[in-house]
Amino acid sequence: MEKKQFKIIPWIANLAFLIFSLMALFPIINLLISSLRPSSELMRNGISITFDPSTMSVDNYTYIFTQGGNYWSWFMNSLVITTITIVLSLFFSSMVGYALALYDFKGRTLIFGCVLFILMVPFEILMLPLFQLMVNLNLINTYTAVILPAAVAPMAVFFFRQYALGLPKELMDAARIDGSTEYGIFFKIMLPLMTPSLAAMAILQGLGSWNNFLWPLIVLRSNDMFTLPIGLATLLTPYGNNYDILIAGSVMTILPIIILFIFFQRYFVAGLTVGGVKG
């Protein structure tokens, strides 16, 4: 009887995970179905899982691909900003986290304390001084104004530091004996070992930058510079609400994040679970 009970437990666990997965996917499925419905039906029935197959079509997506000029401009703005943000954040944050973990220098504890302090401060408190800084640097309505505050992310620095603490220092000593420079040690030896953490943080930073709404809304002014979240928000006005185009555009917005996760999911899981097992 005990063996049978142990065999049943995995089935119950799998069933529970399946139910939770369907619950998590329900909003996405609902959004996908609603994107195929005309605006009149959305206004009449709202967003719901029930639908009339005779009214469903791909007209909303056809409009985006053929007449949605502003949409693709917003899409490219978000793509450029997200790509640059990921590259800069991974480059600088990994170097800072690596140095805080493996180098002993004066002020290291103080710097790490400042990183933790900034990590605990809500972004809404930092918005005003950051905006004033962008004004003084004459960067308003530029990509730089959106990217610069995220170039060195406190969360990424903390994450890389914790990961680098598990790297073997013996490799650094061996490389120094072989005559390698400190930059050579980092880029040729340590950085490849940090690949799982880089992939995990690329997804997190990419997701945050792609969905960022508040800060780009503050520093961007012209329609041709808007990112996707801001551009889609402009479709809702007191004079007309393009819910059909908004929902279809939202579905298209999800695709890059899904593709990013599919490519890096193996490293993402490895990066988040590192250090969970000692030995």
Ranking 44-53, 135-144, 159-168 by mean pLDDT, the lowest is 44-53
* pLDDT, tens digit (0-9, with 9 covering 90-100), for 5-45: 556 777 888 888 888 888 888 888 888 888 887 777 766 66
SS3 241: strand
SS3 240: strand
Higher pLDDT, 192 or 259: 192
**Tokens 């069933």 map to which residue?**
15
**Tokens 């930073």 map to which residue?**
205
Q: What is the pLDDT of residue 110?
A: 92
Is the Cβ–Cβ distance between 99 and 194 less than 8 Å?
A: no
Average pLDDT value for residue range 156-184: 88
Q: What is the pLDDT of residue 276?
A: 45
Q: What is the pLDDT of residue 160?
A: 92
Cα atoms in the 13 Å half-sphere on the side-chain side of 188: 11
Q: What is the pLDDT of residue 273?
A: 56
Report phi then psi at 180, rounded to 5.
Answer: -75, 145
Average pLDDT value for residue range 148-159: 90
Q: What is the pLDDT of residue 275?
A: 46
Helix segments in the chain, DSSP class H: 2-34, 39-45, 59-67, 69-102, 108-120, 123-136, 143-147, 154-164, 169-177, 182-184, 191-193, 195-211, 214-219, 228-233, 243-273
Question: Which positions ≥6 away from 213 have C-beta within 8 Å?
Answer: 229, 230, 233
Q: From the CB of residue 167, how many other CB atoms can be counted at a distance below 10 Å?
A: 16
- Indicate whether 277 pLDDT > 50: no
Nearest-10 crossing angle of helices 69-102, 154-164: 40
Is 68-273 CATH 1.10.3720.10?
yes
Q: Which residue spans within the chain are E strands per DSSP?
A: 236-237, 240-241
Q: What is the pLDDT of residue 240?
A: 56
Average pLDDT value for residue range 269-279: 51
- Indicate whether 278 pLDDT > 50: no
Q: What is the pLDDT of residue 46?
A: 66
How many Å apart are CA 205 and CA 11, to the nearest integer?
36
Ranking 35-49, 78-92, 106-120 by mean pLDDT, the lowest is 35-49
Q: What is the pLDDT of residue 145?
A: 93
How many Å apart are CA 213 and CA 210, to the nearest integer?
9
Mean pLDDT of the chain: 83
Total-model pTM: 0.82
- Indicate whether 144 pLDDT > 50: yes
How many Å apart are CA 144 and CA 215, to the nearest integer?
12
Q: Where are the domains of the chain?
A: 1-59, 68-273
Q: What is the pLDDT of residue 104?
A: 87
* pLDDT, tens digit (0-9, with 9 covering 90-100), for 207-250: 899 989 999 999 998 888 999 899 888 877 655 567 777 888 88
199, 191, 206: which is closest to 86 by C-alpha? 206
Adjacent-strand bridge partners of 241: 236
Average pLDDT value for residue range 184-189: 89
Nearest-10 crossing angle of helices 195-211, 154-164: 170
Q: What is the pLDDT of residue 274?
A: 53
Higher pLDDT, 154 or 259: 154
Q: What is the pLDDT of residue 272?
A: 56
Average pLDDT value for residue range 45-64: 74
In the chain, what percentage of residues exceed pLDDT 70?
A: 86
How many Å apart are CA 202 and CA 185, to the nearest integer?
22
How many Å apart are CA 151 and CA 89, to the nearest integer?
5
